[in-house]
Structure 1
Amino acid sequence: MTAAPSGPDALPTATLQDGTHPRPQALRAHWRDLSGPWSFRHDDGGSARWSHGLPEPRTITVPFPPESSASGIDEPGFHPVVWYARTLAQADLDAAGLSPENPRVLLHFGAVDHRATVWIDGALVGEHEGGQTPFTFDVTGHLAGGGEHLLVVRAEDDPHDVSQPRGKQDWQERPHAIWYRRTTGIWQPVWLEAVPDAAVEHLRWTNRDAATTGLTVRFRGAVPEGARVAVALRWTDGDEDLGALETAVPPHARSVDLLVPVARQANGQAEEELLWSPDQPRLIDAVVELRTADGRRLDAVASYFGLRTVAVDRGAFLLNDRPVDVRSVLEQGYWPESHLAAPSPAALRREVELIKALGFNAARIHQKVEDPRFLFWADRLGLLVWGETANAYAFSPLAVQRLVREWVDVVERDASHPSIVTWVPLNESWGVQHVAHEPAQQAYARALAEVTRALDPTRPVVSNDGWEHPGSDIVTVHDYEGDGERLAATYADDAARTRLLAGIGPAGRRILVGGAVDEGQPVMLTEFGGVRYQPDRPHEEGWGYTEAADEDDWIRRITALYDGVRASAFLAGSCWTQLTDTLQETNGLLTADREPKAPIERIRAAILGS
């Protein structure tokens, strides 16, 4: 058996990473971030052929969308096709870890909205459709001969195509109502990584119970006969090795499944010490190695997971088999200077810290698939996350195909994060506007939920957040009643619950549709509040569901609405709208620049009732 590399070739400790790596649960010793200045051109006619280079280019800062000021372009109008170009130098390949042991060069894209085509030196590398999910090309064959190579990317994102999963990206030229400026093209990191001929491609951690996790290891390249996978576990924060195991890779296998027991969890009286939760976000480091039959190390990645279970039972949301009051905030994940892209990796950590400082234990990511680095900090710092996706606005065969394909990739990308505790493929009947009475739309919404359960049976699924549920594990309701006493009456007791689920709910929407019945699921108020308050701009136009006159009035309104929620005999959780002001929406607890609108202690006390 070969010794693990040391020095600059040593694997990082995944739980101690700094939050900059675009793929936080599969780290190697080397990678090269290609963020920074690229050449850029709009192509409004969509007919340009610039695969060999861009004429008279401008400079854009990747990965910020060209509509944003952070990109240096700052042109938010309609531009359906954009082009990027960047030189790949030998220094980039060296930094990515290219060596005789790691001869294959992978080009990774975190996300490009919506359709991407990639060339190197004018030769087509590949294409990808889906604006929220990562994709990778093996570009080794395009980099022969040394020297510099020209990387070119074309991105197409039709602002008028309502069959694309687009979330809150406005179809009008200027933002209106609850819709935001668009995010076109590259909006998550682009990076290089060198790997062996036979390598680990993907890891999937699946919680089984409080003592065991499942692990699927998928391979890239031809795995040699007799190869083995070895896994070593360590609780780094507790300075404790947790065991190791090794298994053979079957001949011709593209992946292998393992059950990974954590031996110390056999002591049931001590098992809670290692379980992940918002109050105790324990993470377990893992090194996963691909080895030859004689023990030689072919590849290794550093990863982590959290031991925890999620379930619903008897009207409660259970984390580690105990009821948890889900105290969530609606997180749009939008920044004024960079739109859906975070302005920096540090901003993602700060976002999680602010959510927790306000008194929340959860965040509902809204109409967006969030950056994996946000999920790392949710894992590390302890924040429950509801994993949602951007929806299309139309119901058509094309819209169905696009969302299903992209959603499958989203679940695959994020299923290993312990912080994600619920999946939400649809919101407020977006893209299924007639799901209350159209059988085809009901079938689609149910199918999305069932596909999600098939991909991941370990988490509850909300089939259509807010109303018109054709088959949800949690019944969620959106209600922007501004009076705390009236809110309390709507959710007071079991009789109120029965009336709510059997009748017409807030916003004039049925709660259960398509033959769905009350099976005792947890009920949560997953959007409420939305109180407009602009302390520094009291006379400017803004948008909210109700409006506060001043800071004291704002705090009174928050307190009264939370008192109404706390008075309920059956609500299992809630989600306040929203974390930050976003463009014309001025109903955040924080300004768009992430400054609290009142002393954070006052806001926290209103939320917690203390």
Structure 2
Amino acid sequence: MAHGPAPTVPTDVHHPRPQFVRPGWVDLSGPWGFAFDDGMVGMHDDWHDGDPAHFDRRIQVPFPFESPASGIGDTGFHPVVWYRRTFTAHERDGHRLLMHFGAVDYRAHVWVNGQSVAYHEGGNTPFTADITSALVPEGEQVVVVRAEDLPGDLRQPRGKQDWQAESHAIWYDRTSGIWQTVWLEEVPAARIRALRWKPDADGRGVDMDVRVRTDGRDGARLRVVLRQGERVLSDDVYSVDRGQVQRRITLAEHDMSLGHSDLLWSPEHPNLIDATLVLLDGDEVLDVVGSYTAVRSISASRDRLLLNGRPYYLRLVLAQGFWPESHLAAPDPDALRREVQLVKDLGFNGVRLHQKVEDPRFLAWCDRLGVLVWAEMPAAYEFSVTTIQRLTREWLEVLDRDASHPCIIAWVPVNESWGVPALERSPEQQNLVRALYHLTKSLDGDRLVIGNDGWEQPVTDVVTVHDYASRGQVLRDRYADWDRLEHTLARTQPAYRVVLLAGASREDRPVLISEFGGISYDPDQRAGWSGYGSVRSSDQLLAGYQDLVHALLDSAAVVGFCWTQLTDTQQERNGLLTAERVPKAPVEQIRRITTRVSAAVPGDAVDEFSYGDYPPGGPREPSPDFRIEGVGADLDPR
């Protein structure tokens, strides 16, 4: 047991990296200089030097230029764009200045004061530049970003971003360039570099993997303090071995309540464990990082899904994370909390993030409010060697970024054979799906992996089916019991697609209807896409919702569902909420339908826990704004 009080870092759900927080960061959101480069002359003409004459527009970062919130709102084809802004900073001995980018779609090249500091490919994942050596001693610093996003390149992971000039069917206006937070962080030269948590529910503990940059301090040690509320669960000091600390931390179980431990995380009891990591050299504190983790298990066994070892029924809703004013970027940080709260209010215990890698702050709210997450890789739409390389590289970055979030229970590398259109007959495309499945399992063997969600599954932990039957009786005929379900998988083939490919079998894998419903109702009667059927009133929407949802809840064989969808998204008007997040029917009535007991798991405890009363480790006030010594932010681009 370590001695002396440990420093603490207040958990900050508005921090762009909520599970790895230092008390001091500068948000570079706001107005930047901006320019289209349709002629692709910027590199030749040295725009990276930062001459303000080249940047004839202003854009509000982090909103994509296609969105109204950016101040530009141009949805046309502009494959290359440039950004410029100034900030103030100076170098301090023993410290480094990092510039973080949450996401830039698709290729990003970054210069500071004319020096190249970073290049990144992949539109959904973060990257960091150490800009210390590029700083000038006096005056303003200038950062320039070149972003390239080819609208018609179907080999790059793009998700629902349309490749046509106008959004069509189920594809939407694009999100190009910077679309997540850009921020500065001053760090010590000897510092904690990376952190990963892995729950060990069976052993009532957590596995910790910490990477450290010792900067020549051979005697560096790491103190780790875990707390739940005011109770200290663990406080120990570990030696740093070759820049790494790997430990399994066992936590004492206490206070049995309602037959389960208050250490376990679930949607009904989102118990989090706050963590403080302190890098030490003797008695000198080198670095302090705040984080959090949880104890939770998920598995599939004997036709059932088990959460923390107990059968659990999934009530998911499909969410695309698209706002009319800001596209894939959240219009403000609190919009992410409101989105998660709406999922809870409607009675769902989970969300399927569809064709989007969500902002880490959204996942942090899912962790804190108690919402399960299926995380999905945005698709490319052409099978090629280039596609395989891009998809695999970016998927690995997604896994690395999000592996510590307890809310995530399933990884989905491919959806509906997008990007592998000949999957049923092509051994090469089947091998890609199998490879992504096994690669994911090798890196994270404790979560569910669905190789290809919806149909044509060569390998999966859960058999998932997309079935947009318009009447509840059709769903009952297909899924009411095991005999009918097996017949449906083998013979009926919803959407005229085989569910399991040759060589794959259901065995005792659970079955989940991972897309259904999709009833369109537009109170404003705007023109839109209604590919799954439409109704003309709120009452008809409620009746259709109840008919379809209760048909699956009546099934003794199906272990969960995912309703399409949470919100309207551009021309797709099949949300339970409008695009502006206004409910189309009374929330309590939707909730009553969603939370009715299921035949498959009749003992599941819906609403056992009032999520407004946060348990230990739950939400708290965000930490006050800190300012890094020597770093300022000039919001006026020059």
TM-score, normalised via structure 1 length: 0.94
Q: Report the Cα distance in structure 1 between the residues aligned to 2:234 and 2:259, rounded to whole angstroms.
A: 17
Contact 1:163 1:394 in 2 (8 A): yes
Q: How does 1:531-550 map to 2 (within 5 A)?
A: 531-535=519-523, 537-538=524-525, 540-550=527-537
Describe the superposition over 1:369-417 as per-residue Cα deviations: whole angstroms up to 9, x where unpaired. Answer: 0000000000000000001110100110100000100000101100100
Cα 1:539–1:188 change in 2 (3 A) is: closer
Q: Report the Cα distance in structure 2 between the residues aligned to 1:283 and 1:20, rounded to whole angstroms.
A: 17
Contact 1:439 1:514 in 2 (8 A): no
Q: Report the Cα distance in structure 2 between the residues aligned to 1:83 and 1:420, rounded to whole angstroms.
A: 35
Aligned to 2:369: 381
Tell me whether 1:39 sits opposite 2:26 in the alignment. no
Describe the superposition over 1:133-166 as per-residue Cα deviations: whole angstroms up to 9, x where unpaired. Answer: 0001111101141321110000000001000000
Secondary structure of the equivalent of 1:263? Answer: coil
Tell me whether 1:117 sits opposite 2:82 in the alignment. no
Tell me whether 1:508 sits opposite 2:508 in the alignment. no
Cα 1:281–1:268 change in 2 (3 A) is: closer
Secondary structure of the equivalent of 1:605? Answer: helix
Aligned to 1:128: 120
Aligned to 1:198: 190
Q: Which amino acid aligns with 2:49?
A: H
Cα 1:221–1:104 change in 2 (3 A) is: farther
Contact 1:157 1:185 in 2 (8 A): yes
Aligned to 1:363: 351
Using the TM superposition, give the Cα deviation of residue 539 of structure 1 relative to its aligned residue in structure 2, in angstroms.
6.0
Q: Which amino acid aligns with 2:540?
A: D
Aligned to 2:631: none
Select the residue among 23, 28, 36 that pairs with 2:22: 28
Secondary structure of the equivalent of 1:449? Answer: helix
Cα 1:221–1:561 change in 2 (3 A) is: same
Aligned to 1:263: 252
Cα 1:142–1:300 change in 2 (3 A) is: same
Q: Report the Cα distance in structure 1 between the residues aligned to 2:183 and 2:334, rounded to whole angstroms.
A: 18
Using the TM superposition, give the Cα deviation of residue 590 of structure 1 relative to its aligned residue in structure 2, in angstroms.
0.2
Describe the superposition over 1:171-199 as per-residue Cα deviations: whole angstroms up to 9, x where unpaired. Answer: 00110000000000000000010111111
Q: Which amino acid aligns with 2:9?
A: P
Using the TM superposition, give the Cα deviation of residue 544 of structure 1 relative to its aligned residue in structure 2, in angstroms.
4.1
Tell me whether 1:494 sits opposite 2:472 in the alignment. no
Aligned to 2:212: 219
Select the residue among 146, 154, 157 that pairs with 2:149: 157
Contact 2:27 2:183 in 1 (8 A): yes
Q: How does 1:556-575 map to 2 (within 5 A)?
A: 556-575=543-562
Task: Give the unaligned 5+ runs of structure 2.
Answer: 598-638
Q: Report the Cα distance in structure 1 between the residues aligned to 2:518 and 2:256, rounded to whole angstroms.
A: 46
Describe the superposition over 1:310-359 as per-residue Cα deviations: whole angstroms up to 9, x where unpaired. Answer: 11111111110011110000000000000000001100000000000001
Tell me whether 1:395 sits opposite 2:387 in the alignment. no
Q: Report the Cα distance in structure 1 between the residues aligned to 2:554 and 2:252, rounded to whole angstroms.
A: 43
Contact 1:504 1:511 in 2 (8 A): no
Aligned to 1:554: 541
Q: Which amino acid aligns with 1:304?
A: Y
Q: How does 1:330-341 map to 2 (within 5 A)?
A: 330-341=318-329
Aligned to 1:582: 569
Using the TM superposition, give the Cα deviation of residue 265 of structure 1 relative to its aligned residue in structure 2, in angstroms.
5.6
Q: How does 1:85-484 map to 2 (within 5 A)?
A: 85-90=84-89, 100=93, 103-210=95-202, 211-220=204-213, 222-236=215-229, 239-250=230-241, 253-264=242-253, 272-292=261-281, 294-484=282-472
Secondary structure of the equivalent of 2:593? Answer: helix
Point out the more displaced range, 224-233 or 338-347: 224-233
Contact 2:9 2:276 in 1 (8 A): no
Contact 2:55 2:84 in 1 (8 A): no
Contact 1:65 1:183 in 2 (8 A): yes
Contact 2:256 2:262 in 1 (8 A): no
Describe the superposition over 1:110-150 as per-residue Cα deviations: whole angstroms up to 9, x where unpaired. Answer: 00000000001111112000110000111110114132111
Secondary structure of the equivalent of 2:193? Answer: strand
Contact 2:169 2:529 in 1 (8 A): no
Secondary structure of the equivalent of 2:124? Answer: coil
Aligned to 2:513: 525
Say how many residue pairs are matched. 590
Task: Give the unaligned 5+ runs of structure 1.
Answer: none
Secondary structure of the equivalent of 1:89? Answer: strand
Q: Which amino acid aligns with 2:357?
A: V
Secondary structure of the equivalent of 1:51? Answer: helix
Query: Which of the pair has the greater relative contact order for Cα pairs under 8 Å at 6+ separation?
Result: 2
